[in-house]
Amino acid sequence: MATKLTSAQQQRMLRVGEQVRAAITQVLQRGEVRDDLIEKTVISISEVRMSTDLKVATAFVTPLGVEDHAAIIAALNRHAKYIRGRLGPQLRQMKYMPEVRFRDDTSFDNYKKIDELLRSPEVMRDLEGGDTEEQS
C-alpha cells in the first residue's frame, strides 16, 4: 500500500532533485564525460525527479539541435555510473549517492502541440466568434 508523502518529504525530494540537476549540469559542462556524441551536443537538463528514498534520480534531458534523441539518451545511460561518481563533491551531504537514469524530456513537444492547437484556424474561429457574442 502506498503511503502519502508529507509536504516536508516532497520539499526534500524537490530540493535534492534540484541539487542533483545542478551537479549533473556541471559535470556535462566541464566535459568530464569522454564521449564524442555527448561532447559535441548541447544537453539541457530540465528536471531531476528523485525517488521517495532519494536513491534514484531520473534526469529529464533534451539534446538541443539533434534529431536523434535516443542516441544521446543511450550514451548518457552508458556513462551513468561514471557521472554518478563525479557527483560526489557537489553532493557530499547525502547519505547515499543516487543512481542516475536519463530519460528524454517530451514536455517541450507537448507544449508545441498545445501551442499549434491554440493557433489552429478552428480555435481562432471559435475565439473570434466568442468575442462577438459577449459584446451583444
pLDDT band at residue 136, thresholds of 50, 70 and 90?
Answer: very low
Model confidence, pTM? 0.76
pLDDT tens string 16-43: 999 999 999 999 999 899 998 998 899 9
Q: Are 87 and 23 in contact (CB under 8 A)?
A: yes
Q: Annotate 90-106 with b (16+ C-beta within 10 A) or e (fewer).
A: bbeeeeebbebbbeebe
pLDDT, one tens digit per residue, over 74-125 is 999 999 999 999 998 888 888 889 999 999 988 777 777 888 888 888 877 8
Cα→Cα distances 65→33, 60, 72, 93, 96, Å: 19, 16, 12, 35, 35
CB proximity list for 86: less than 8 A, separation 6 or greater? 27, 32
